[in-house]
Amino acid sequence: MASEVSPGARFRQLFRQGPFTCMGAHDPMTAKIAEAEGAKALYVSGFALSGVIAGAPDFGVLTQTEMLEAIRRICRATSLPVFADADTGYGGPLEARRTIELWEEAGVAALHLEDQLAPKKCGHFAGKNVIPTTEMVEKLRAMVDARRDPDFFIVARTDAIAVEGIDAAIERLAAYADTGVDGLYADAPESREDMKKLSEALGHLGLPILFNMARSGKSPVLTMQEAADLGFAYSLCPIESMLTAHKAVTQMMRTFLAQPTTEAIADGLTPFDDFNRFIGLHEMAELNRRYGA
């Protein structure tokens, strides 16, 4: 019998189909929604998980274990390839090595490692600092050496644009490419010109370049095709599901507390039976009949 295609191999296949977006999922429910609506891949953001798990900003508050458990639950809920934030690797080269081992065990297809100085911050926050290029190279080499599935997809990310400028970010990514990583990612380019400069300077390396579509005010708001025309092979839509949930739940609670009856909020609710169909109640009941009383 042929062996099952690994998550990393399925992620790599997407590049042969043209530009694609990894939809942000911050829990199993949003992962299932994304898959049901036709997403090709998922992205698990440290920013989103910081907000959902800790109710805190993305200042490196989550531990490696907290991130791992949240990512594992999402991977269990979907058949889509999952691209997961690995922050700074949670330490030096040995910790970065353990991170990729754990992410692979969880069922992740791809990750990105960033060159921020701990405690890291969201890439679109002010006040970031970056580690020396040599230190990041050591961590990337440790990750590349530790991966067991050769198709597991490793992305080198730099946050240097806001700290050292676009030219330094390009130099860093060129150095990171030499470690054997599979993709490159400069977070928070501030213009189409910066994006074009990145792709033109790095395109000869033959590694796909990632664009973050987050509506933070830092980067231009583009369609995936517009980003592709600038030389970016794929993108992240990383935190929009969380921001949508925040807005919708805030409005629901505000309305209900002003008019304490569910009639006031009924139009914004998924019907109970519809949600049970979505979540798989019928299938679970069938299994219970097969194996239970």
pLDDT tops 90 at residue 58 = no
Mind listing the pLDDT tens digit for each residue in 225-274?
999 999 999 999 999 999 999 999 999 999 999 999 999 999 999 999 99
CA 124 – CA 75 distance, rounded (Å): 26
Sheet strands (E) in 101-242: 110-114, 153-158, 183-186, 209-212, 234-237
Measured from the Cβ of residue 98, the count of other Cβ atoms closer than 10 Å reads 17
C-beta separation of 137 from 171 below 8 A? no
Token reading at 11: 């992620």
CA 244 – CA 203 distance, rounded (Å): 35
* Burial class for 17, CB neighbours closer than 10 Å (0-12, 13-18, 19+): exposed
Mind listing the pLDDT tens digit for each residue in 65-120?
999 999 999 999 999 999 999 999 999 999 999 999 999 999 999 999 999 987 66
CA 7 – CA 13 distance, rounded (Å): 10
* β pairing state of 234-237 and 209-212: parallel
Mind listing the pLDDT tens digit for each residue in 160-213?
998 999 999 999 999 999 999 999 999 999 999 999 999 999 999 999 999 999
- Cα-Cα-Cα-Cα dihedral of 22, 24, 30, 34, to 10°? -20
CA 11 – CA 274 distance, rounded (Å): 31
pLDDT value, residue 261: 98
**What domains are defined for the chain?**
7-240 (3.20.20.60), 246-291 (no CATH)
CA 81 – CA 40 distance, rounded (Å): 8
**Of residues 170 and 215, more confidently modeled:** 170
**Residues in contact with 64: Cβ distance below 8 Å, sequence separation at least 6, in sequence order:** 90, 95, 98, 99, 102
Token reading at 257: 């507390």
CA 36 – CA 186 distance, rounded (Å): 30
Token reading at 205: 């390396």
